[in-house]
């Protein structure tokens, strides 16, 4: 989905205010759903969140990084991928 998100960003200058508004509303709903998932299970993995919100894992990571930048989520632990 990051491909389509990038494509959408490239098309944004051509979008009407109505289209931008609808996209922003959808993105806010997705972000809120991700926050709810994490509140319910602090150890929930991105793949499980993706399944719950019906998006790809890459899309979930996109939204998680946005939520981190905005301060809506915080990182308290890191693990090395094996």
Range of the domain at 25: 17-69
pLDDT number for residue 3 = 59
User: What percent of the chain has a predicted confidence (pLDDT) above 90?
Assistant: 65
The CATH number linked to 49 is 1.10.10
Of residues 8, 76, 67, the one with CA closest to residue 36: 67
Number of structural domains found in the chain: 1
pLDDT number for residue 1 = 45
For residue range 60-72, what is the model confidence (pLDDT) as tens digits?
Answer: 999 999 999 999 9
Does 4 fall in a domain? no
Does 31 fall in a domain? yes
Does 82 fall in a domain? no
Of residues 73, 26, 27, 69, the one with CA closest to residue 46: 73
Does 75 fall in a domain? no
Does 81 fall in a domain? no
What gap in Å lies between CA 50 and CA 52, rounded to an integer? 5
What gap in Å lies between CA 21 and CA 18, rounded to an integer? 5
């Amino acid at each position: 989905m990051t491909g389509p998100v990038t494509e959408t960003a490239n098309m944004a200058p051509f979008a009407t205010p109505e289209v931008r508004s609808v996209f922003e509303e959808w993105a806010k709903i997705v972000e809120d759903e991700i926050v709810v998932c994490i509140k319910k299970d602090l150890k929930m993995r991105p793949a499980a969140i993706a399944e719950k919100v019906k998006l790809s894992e890459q899309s979930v990571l996109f939204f998680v990084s946005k939520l981190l930048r905005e301060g809506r989520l915080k990182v308290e632990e890191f693990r090395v991928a094996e």
